[in-house]
Structures are given as C-alpha cells and as structure tokens.
Amino acid sequence: MTIKRVIVLGLLAFFSATTTIGLYLLSKDLIQTEGTFIRSFPPHPAEFDKQLDIHYNSYYFAGYDKGILYLGNYTAPLVVTAIDTSLIYSQEYRIQPESSNFTFKSLQLRVNPPYFYLSDGTVPCIYGGKINNWKAGLLMSDLAYFTLLEPVDSTRFVLRSNKSNTGENILGTFDLRKEDKLKLAENLLEKQSDGDGIFDTDGTLLYSKATSKIIYVYHYRNQFVVADKQAKLLYRGHTIDTTTKAQIKVAHIEKGNQLKMYAPPLTVNAHTAICEDLLFIHSTLRGKYDNIKHWSNASTIDVYNVTSGDYVMSFYIPKLKDASLRNFIVTPTQIFVLIENQLMSYTISNTLQKELLKAKRNTALNQ
Amino acid sequence: MSFALVEHKTRDMRFLALFKKVIIELVCLSYILLFVYAATSKLIDYENFTVQLGQSPMLSALAEWIAPIILVSEFLLSILLLFPKYRLFALYAAFSLMVMFTTYISIILHYASYVPCSCGGILEKMGWSEHLYFNIFFILLAITGVLFYPPTQKSVI
C-alpha cells in the first residue's frame, strides 16, 4: 500500500516537473517566434545617472571612444563637442575642411578615433581627418549620391544610395583605396510587394566595429538586415512586433514630380544603436503585456543579439515631459540619450551588463 | 498477559489512526486555505496576475493559457479536498501542482537570465527563495497526507 503510493507520488513528481520544464522550453521558443510580441523587462537594466543641459536640440551623437562622447550639431555642422562620459568636462573643436566651392546641405559628422569624417551625400563628398587637429581633407567627391553613411575603417564606408532609374534605396560599400571604389549590394534591401522601394525600405544604418557587421533596421516593418563588412548578406532578422508589412500610403504629386507620404506612417523601429554584439532598437509599438502607463511615459528599447538575431530583453528610457528620445548611443557601461536639449546618461546595471559581457566573450571567441 | 498486550496494541493503533486522521484534516485544511487565498488574490487582480506571468522570463508566451488553468485548478482542488470521496485524488493533484510551482521557482532562481521583480508578486512579501522553502514545506505536507491516508477499498491509487 505505502510502497504503491510512494511510487505514484514519485511518478507524479516526475511528470509535473517535466511538464513545467517543457512549458518553460516551449515558452522560450515561442518568444523568439515572429508575431508573439511579448517583451521581457528584467528589473532595472539601466539606471538614470545624470542630466546635462546642452542648450540646443540640434546635437546628435557622432561617436564614442575611450570615455569621450563626440557630438555633432546640425545647425553648426563644423563644430564638434567632446564631452567626457561623467558629463562634467566638455570641449568644443572647430573642423577646418579643405576649401572647396561645394554648397553643403546636410553635413554629417562621424567620429571614429583617431579619425573623423564629415560627409554630405547631396554634394556628394566625404571629408576625413584626424581628431588631434580636426583638419579635414577631401577624400571623395562626385562618385555617388548617398543618403546615409557610416565609416567601417579608415578607408572603407558603408552607405545607402538610390538606384538611378527608380530611386529605390540600395546599400553599398565604398573603399577609397580600390580602383573600383563603389560596390553596390543589390540584394540587401528588399522592396515589399506593393511598396515603392523608397519609403518602405527606409531605415537606419549601423556598423558594428566589435563584430564587423553592417546592420540595417527598417523603420516601418519588423525586420533588420545583417551583412558582413563586404556587404554580403548574413541573415535577415525580425523584431518582436507584428508589423510584417510597411503601413505607408504614398501620394504622387504630379506638379513637381514629388512623392509624399499620404498619411503618417506607422513607425516601428525609430532609432537604433549598437554596442558589442547587441543591437538596441527604440520601438514605438506596445507589446502584448506592456503596462500602458509605463509604455506611454517612456521610450521602449528592445535589445537583440546581432550574431543570433535573438531577442534579449527590453527596458524603458523615460520621456522628458512629452518628448521622447531622438538619438542614443550605447557604450559597454553606459547609455547616453538625447531628448530635446538635454543629454542624459544611464548606467548599465547587472542584467544588461551580463548580456554585454557574454556578447563580448562570444565575439572574442569568434575572432 | 498476552490478552492485555493485544488490547494495548489495539489502543495504540486506534490512537495512531486518530492521529493520522487529524494530520490529514490539518493537511487538507492548510491546502484549502492556501489555494483559496492564492486563487482569490489572483482573481481580484487578475489582469496584474496575467501581466506578471507574461513578464516572467519563462512561461511569458503561455501566460494567457496558464493563468486561467492555475486559477481554476486551485479553486477546484480546494473544493475536492472538502469531500472525503475525492480527498486522496485531490491530495495527489495538489502535490503535483506544488511540484510544478516549485520547479518553476527553481528554474527561475537557477536558470532564468534574471529573477523577475517580485514587487507586487503573488505572495507579496515573500522573496523567491523563501517561496521555494514554503513550497517544499507544502509538498512535504501533501506527501504526509497521502501516506497517512487510510487504505481505500478500490485501491486504484
């Protein structure tokens, strides 16, 4: 009698435990499946540290290296502001570009110490120099118009251009040392069936120094593209939300041959940043179990592993009154955010730190 | 002499049977209290409960399913524990449910990438490791209940 009951208890215990473990594994699997849209919020991955008034909302992050942030400024494109990561000391530099008769329309700064690059895709031109004297020489002009540019190393760049006949977005790499400088990667960006290849493929371009990967995150659908530094496709990943199709209506205005957005588009992935092997995406959509109060008072950042394409976790960056973040950058220990005319720093704490270290180890192993 | 011994023995056995019966009653009572309390507090704040399950590093994708199942099983088991006819079965079931909860907590403590915020948790003031001990105690209660339960005629289980 007793023995029989002990056996039954043992069997029950075994089956109950395996069921729970099975459910755990199933759930883990489901989270990575497209369309579940369940975020996980570990406790406090990033804690607010400091806020600095930088007086203008025209600043943007141009780069980071060894404890120093470099900020560019859209309205004063030749000014570089260097701020230490404790947000105490700052210094302004003035870039001196080689003289030319270009008319700049949208100069963009990238600092990738010891080099910096100043580019304007509408000219088109790329200036480059070293940050010890901020003197910029012309590296390239009149090769291809581009709309986005990220430095890969001292002579190589990844850029986004437009196909000359259709105007569709296209990614490419550009090497100053090579005879055949520009190489377009036709297959990386995918136009959607009823899209025009311009608006529906719009997104943000990143280059991960740590893993030597090019990442392009679409603005209006739940996808991102990961390629190696030769722009060879590695894989197409998806973000956890359910927007598989870009929801954009484009109106063609005969007068002046213009294309305009018919209705405000549904932005999915607004801003992005990369650190080590982790991709950070500011997503504007609310997940299935997201607390509506938290969600509406903050910007949600989703973290993905670039090597595997897996979703890692999410966290919130609170809004400032009603303004949400417009630019952010992630270092191995901190997150810096620009909201309105404020620069804020967040300290990365244990849960996220652990993922970053894991990513760093994996990167080291792979190289 | 021998007669007295037998009588002594039966008295002992009768005492033991009574003791076991009391223990079983206590075990069932504790389980009823626990389940009714836990299920009611989940029901009162049902949305919060689903959200919490949804944000735990495991089970999140299944929260919609699991939340009502847990709730219904807890209520059902507390009712079944009231009826002697179903008591043994209910004790086995309660034992299984407790093992499941305990496995869940152990996975969270040892394998999950993080331990979810227990702020506003199910049994609010308890930390996760205390919760683990609490559950193990209840598992032991269920085992005692099952083993002390008098033999049934239809000894299917």
User: pLDDT tens across A21-79, in order?
Assistant: 898 888 777 777 766 788 888 777 888 999 999 999 999 999 999 899 999 999 999 99
Q: Which domains does chain A have, with CATH numbers?
A: 53-291 (2.120.10)
Q: Which helix (H) or strand (E) holds A91?
A: strand A90-94
Please check whether residue A227 is in contact with residue A205, taking contact to mean a CB–CB distance below 8 angstroms.
Answer: no
Contact between chains at A31 and B60 (C-beta distance less than 8 A): yes
Please check whether residue A111 is in contact with residue A95, taking contact to mean a CB–CB distance below 8 angstroms.
Answer: no
Q: A8-12, A43-47, A54-58, A330-334: lowest mean pLDDT where?
A: A43-47
Largest CA distance in chain A: 98
**Confidence bin at B58 (pLDDT 50/70/90):** low
Task: For residue A359, list chain B residues with Cβ-Cβ distance below 8 A.
Answer: none
Q: What is the CA radius of gyration of chain A?
A: 23
Between B92, B103, B117, which is nearest A8 by CB? B92
Please tell me which residue, A199 or A95, carries the higher pLDDT value. A95
% of chain B at pLDDT higher than 70: 76
Q: For A146-151, what is the mean pLDDT?
A: 94
Going by DSSP bridges, is the β-strand pair A135-141/A96-97 parallel, antiparallel, or unpaired? Answer: parallel
**Confidence bin at B81 (pLDDT 50/70/90):** very high
Please tell me which residue, B55 or A294, carries the higher pLDDT value. A294
Q: Kindly provide the ipTM of the predicted complex, given to two decimals.
A: 0.83
A252-289 pLDDT per residue, tens: 777 767 767 666 677 889 999 999 889 999 999 888 77
Q: Quote the CA–CA distance of A19 and B118 in Å, as a whole number.
A: 24
Q: Provide the whole-model pTM.
A: 0.78
Q: Which helix (H) or strand (E) holds A19?
A: helix A2-32
Task: For residue A23, list chain B residues with Cβ-Cβ distance below 8 A.
Answer: 58-59, 62, 66
- Burial class of residue A192 (count of CB atoms within 10 Å of its CB; 0-12, 13-18, 19+): middle
Q: Which residue of B has its CA nearest to A290?
A: B51
**Confidence bin at B28 (pLDDT 50/70/90):** very high
**Confidence bin at B119 (pLDDT 50/70/90):** very low
- Burial class of residue A174 (count of CB atoms within 10 Å of its CB; 0-12, 13-18, 19+): buried
Please check whether residue A137 is in contact with residue A130, taking contact to mean a CB–CB distance below 8 angstroms.
Answer: no
What φ, ψ does residue A310 adopt, rounded to 5°?
A: -80, 150
Contact between chains at B59 and A24 (C-beta distance less than 8 A): yes
Q: Quote the CA–CA distance of A343 and A119 in Å, as a whole number.
A: 24
pLDDT of residue B121: 43
Kindly state the tokens that stand for A58: 């025209």
Q: Measured between CB atoms, does B114 come within 8 Å of chain A?
A: yes
Contact between chains at A42 and B50 (C-beta distance less than 8 A): no
Give the helix, strand, coil percentages of chain B, each rounded to 5.
Answer: 80, 0, 20
Kindly report the nearest CA distance between residue B58 and chain A, in angstroms.
5
Task: For residue A12, list chain B residues with Cβ-Cβ distance below 8 A.
Answer: 92, 95-96, 99
Between A9, A21, A27, which is nearest B60 by CB? A27
Structure letter (DSSP) for residue B62: G
Q: Measured between CB atoms, does B97 come within 8 Å of chain A?
A: yes
A345-367 pLDDT per residue, tens: 999 987 788 888 877 777 666 65
Q: Which residue of A has its CA nearest to B119?
A: A43
